[in-house]
Amino acid sequence: MRSEVSQVRVGLVALVGASWLYLVYMAWGMANMDEPAAQLFMPAMMHWGAMDLVLVFVMWAIMMAAMMLPSATPMVRTFARSAEGQSGQSVGSLTSAFVGGYLAVWTLFSAVITLAQWGMLELRLVTPMMESASAWLSGTLLVAAGVFQFTDFKNACLNKCRTPMGFLMTEWRPGVRGAFIMGLRHGAYCTGCCAMLMLLLFVLGVMNLFWIIVLTLLVLGEKLLPAESVWPSRVLGAGLITWGGCVLLVGQS
Q: Spell out the domain ranges in the chain.
A: 2-252
pLDDT of 4: 67
What number is the average pLDDT over the span 101-115? 96
What number is the average pLDDT over the span 127-133? 85
pLDDT of 38: 59
- Give CA–CA dist 99/72, Å, rounded: 9
Contacts of 183 (CB under 8 A, 6+ apart): 97, 98, 99, 100, 101, 102, 103, 104
pLDDT of 68: 95
Give me the chain's average pLDDT, please.
Answer: 89
pLDDT of 27: 83
Residue whose C-alpha is closest to residue 71's, from 42, 102, 47: 102
- Give CA–CA dist 13/69, Å, rounded: 9
Long-range contacts of 88-94 (CB under 8 A, 24+ apart): 89/175, 89/176, 90/4, 91/1, 91/4, 91/5, 91/8, 92/4, 92/7, 92/8, 92/11, 93/176, 94/175, 94/176, 94/179
Tens of pLDDT along 235-247?
999 999 999 999 9
In the chain, % of residues over pLDDT 90: 59
Tens of pLDDT along 32-51?
766 666 566 677 677 788 88
Q: How many CB atoms lie within 10 A of CB 209?
A: 16
pLDDT of 5: 66
Position with higher pLDDT, 111 vs 227: 111
Position with higher pLDDT, 116 vs 252: 116
Position with higher pLDDT, 153 vs 3: 153
Tens of pLDDT along 196-223?
999 999 999 888 899 999 999 999 999 9
Q: How many CB atoms lie within 10 A of CB 90?
A: 15
